[in-house]
């Protein structure tokens, strides 16, 4: 009886968990499975609204509070959060810093940070508010340079003790300019739609600038909230709710080392410190991406001229391949139906369909046996060797076979490229037919252009 009851409970639990599971990307660790955690219904903004009358307060927009929990790191976030609904650009996010116990926490943080700094440090705080922590650090280390970023707060510099910048922190620009020893972010990450993405943006900007730096992140801690089953913490402006594990996981995903994870203020806040050392492989991958884009743009210009020449040559031309990568090739190079009406494919099932985007009817391979062309343009380079074997086996006549390679139209047989017939499977290799010697009888303007 007990075993049967336990089995039934297990089946019910499985059903509940499966129904609660959703494919949702965790903003702290990027794990893609979460479960429904807390549906708070439709509620107004509570921190950044600042209604000026009773009527305005009562008419405030109600926003969805659909909190999900990551099953890997335990992070909790509002799947229905819309950053545009929160007036960060209009209203300050004020934090009361004068409570006695909270002041002790601030002093503890100040001392902790100061102990990690070099002799003449450069320290940046993102979302510094009125600048309380930076001023405390500046007084403690007068030889340092302290810069606070906050587009909304009235930053108190206390006689230029700190450098106040009423703007958003731009990692790509400001890391290269300031090369900070430490970046501080306190009670900011819980407001972001993608806190991991922003942390990784900071890490990559440090890589590009070849700037070794550290980060100190402080956020509210949800561990005690879960233990107490407290729901008032789940309001709209706080999109993310960090557990000890989720903050550590976020830092692990972007830093070269996590140096400290610690709770404070009776477990209500958590902070972590991590080191960002330059990662040269990331910079190299980025350089390769930029170079590929530049090369692709240059190739498009070169190929346009070559396709124009090919179209104007008066030769009968067939494009081999009409779907997938071949269709991508046709569309990328704007090989329209008027200039390049003949499209051939090896697959009989595709015959009678049309090239997506440009509209040429796709013809089966045997069309070229009945009505040969002078130039065959193979649109899928990776299949070129197979297609050439197919052309040879079916004794399809032609003068020239062209493929695109590194931004140029080249002769498959005469020019250097990695798609040579020798790379085909041994059983596909056949002698080049004698009638191919026809191509050597003349070289028109296209052949000269391609050479």
Banded model confidence at residue 444, pLDDT cuts 50, 70, 90: very low
Contact 451, 410 (CB under 8 A): no
pLDDT of residue 121: 97
Contacts of 144 (CB under 8 A, 6+ apart): 117, 120, 121, 122, 123, 137, 138
Contacts of 223 (CB under 8 A, 6+ apart): 243, 244, 263, 267, 270
Q: What is the largest CA-CA distance in the chain?
A: 95
Do 446 and 323 sit in the same domain of this protein?
yes
Distance CA 256, CA 267 (A): 26
Do 183 and 138 sit in the same domain of this protein?
yes
Checking if the pLDDT of 426 tops 50, the result is: no
Do 259 and 118 sit in the same domain of this protein?
yes
In a domain, 433, yes or no: yes
DSSP state letter for 331: H
pLDDT of residue 90: 55
pLDDT of residue 49: 79
Banded model confidence at residue 12, pLDDT cuts 50, 70, 90: confident
Counting the structural domains of the chain, the total is: 3
Lowest average pLDDT, out of 125-129, 304-308, 426-430, goes to: 426-430
Region 180-196 average pLDDT = 95
Do 382 and 355 sit in the same domain of this protein?
yes
Which of 58, 85, 112 terminates a domain? The answer is: 85
Do 35 and 155 sit in the same domain of this protein?
no
Distance CA 129, CA 133 (A): 9
pLDDT of residue 242: 97
pLDDT of residue 18: 81
Q: What is the pTM of this model?
A: 0.79
Checking if the pLDDT of 330 tops 90, the result is: yes
In a domain, 90, yes or no: no
Do 259 and 312 sit in the same domain of this protein?
no
Q: Which contacts of 415-422 are long-range, i.e. CB under 8 A and separated by 24 or more positions?
A: 415/450, 417/381, 419/381, 419/382, 419/384, 419/385, 420/385, 421/385, 421/388, 421/389, 422/385
pLDDT digits (tens, 9 = 90+) for 286-295: 999 999 999 9
Which of 283, 315, 331 terminates a domain? The answer is: 283
pLDDT digits (tens, 9 = 90+) for 21-36: 899 999 999 999 999 9
In a domain, 216, yes or no: yes
Do 138 and 274 sit in the same domain of this protein?
yes
In a domain, 94, yes or no: no
Region 369-397 average pLDDT = 95
pLDDT of residue 20: 82
pLDDT of residue 236: 93
Do 261 and 405 sit in the same domain of this protein?
no
More confident residue, 34 or 440: 34
* High-pLDDT (> 70) share of the chain, %: 90
Region 419-439 average pLDDT = 44
CATH of the domain at 300: 3.40.50.720
The enclosing H or E element of 23 equals strand 21-23
Mean confidence (pLDDT) of the chain: 89
In a domain, 93, yes or no: no
pLDDT digits (tens, 9 = 90+) for 63-119: 999 999 999 999 999 999 998 898 765 555 555 556 788 889 999 999 999 999 999
Distance CA 382, CA 385 (A): 8
- What are the strands of the beta sheet with 317-320, ordered from one edge? 362-364, 342-345, 317-320, 375-378, 400-405, 408-411
- Can you name the residues that pair with 137 across neighbouring β-strands? none
Do 7 and 69 sit in the same domain of this protein?
yes
pLDDT digits (tens, 9 = 90+) for 38-54: 999 999 999 887 889 99
Do 237 and 118 sit in the same domain of this protein?
yes
Tell me how far the alpha carbon of residue 55 is from its chain's centroid.
43
In a domain, 92, yes or no: no
DSSP state letter for 428: G
Instruction: Outline where 266-393 has alpha helix (H).
Output: 280-312, 324-332, 367-370, 384-393
In a domain, 91, yes or no: no
Checking if the pLDDT of 434 tops 90, the result is: no
- What is the 3-state composition of the chain as percent helix, strand, coil, each rounded to the nearest 5? 40, 20, 40
Which of 85, 113, 136 terminates a domain? The answer is: 85
Do 129 and 200 sit in the same domain of this protein?
yes
Domain interval for residue 412: 287-450
Do 321 and 435 sit in the same domain of this protein?
yes
pLDDT of residue 421: 65
In a domain, 389, yes or no: yes
Contact 63, 70 (CB under 8 A): no
């Amino acid at each position: 009886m007990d075993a049967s009851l336990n089995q039934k409970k297990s089946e019910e639990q499985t059903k509940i968990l499966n129904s609660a599971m959703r494919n949702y990307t965790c903003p702290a660790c990027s794990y893609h499975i979460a479960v429904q955690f807390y549906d708070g219904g439709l509620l107004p903004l509570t921190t950044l609204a600042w209604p000026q009358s009773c009527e305005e307060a009562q008419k405030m927009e109600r926003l969805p509070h659909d909190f999900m929990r990551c099953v890997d790191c335990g992070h909790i976030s509002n799947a229905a959060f819309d950053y545009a609904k929160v007036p960060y650009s209009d209203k300050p996010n004020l934090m009361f810093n004068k409570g006695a116990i909270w002041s002790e926490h601030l002093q503890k943080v100040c001392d902790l940070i100061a102990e990690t700094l070099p002799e003449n440090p450069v320290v940046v705080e993102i979302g510094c508010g009125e600048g309380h922590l930076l001023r405390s650090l500046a007084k403690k280390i007068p030889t340092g340079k302290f810069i606070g970023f906050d587009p909304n707060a009235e930053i108190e510099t206390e006689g230029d003790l700190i450098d106040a910048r009423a703007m958003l922190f731009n990692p790509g620009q400001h890391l290269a300019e300031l090369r900070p020893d430490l970046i501080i972010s306190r009670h900011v990450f819980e407001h972001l739609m993608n806190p991991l993405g922003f942390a990784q943006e900071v890490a990559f900007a440090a890589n590009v600038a070849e700037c070794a730096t550290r980060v100190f992140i402080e956020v509210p801690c949800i561990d005690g909230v879960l233990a107490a089953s407290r729901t008032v913490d789940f309001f709209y402006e706080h999109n993310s709710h960090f557990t000890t594990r989720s903050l550590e996981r976020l830092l692990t995903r972007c830093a070269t080392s996590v140096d400290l994870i610690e709770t404070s203020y009776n477990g209500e806040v958590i902070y972590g410190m991590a080191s960002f050392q330059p990662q040269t492989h990331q910079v190299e991958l980025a350089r390769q991406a930029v170079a590929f884009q530049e090369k692709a743009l240059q190739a498009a210009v070169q190929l346009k001229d070559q396709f124009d020449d090919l179209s104007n040559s008066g030769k009968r031309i067939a494009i081999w391949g009409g779907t997938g990568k071949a269709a991508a090739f046709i569309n990328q190079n704007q090989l329209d139906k008027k200039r390049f009406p003949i499209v051939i494919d090896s697959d009989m099932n595709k015959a009678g369909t049309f090239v997506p985007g440009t509209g040429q009817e796709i013809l089966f391979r045997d069309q070229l046996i009945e009505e040969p062309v002078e130039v065959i343009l193979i649109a899928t380079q990776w299949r070129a060797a197979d297609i050439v074997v197919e052309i040879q086996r079916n004794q399809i006549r032609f003068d020239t076979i062209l493929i695109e390679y590194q931004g140029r139209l080249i002769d498959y047989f005469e020019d250097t490229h990695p798609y040579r017939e020798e790379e085909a499977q041994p059983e596909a290799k056949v002698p080049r037919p004698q009638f191919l010697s026809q191509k050597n009888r003349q070289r028109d303007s296209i052949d000269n252009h391609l050479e």
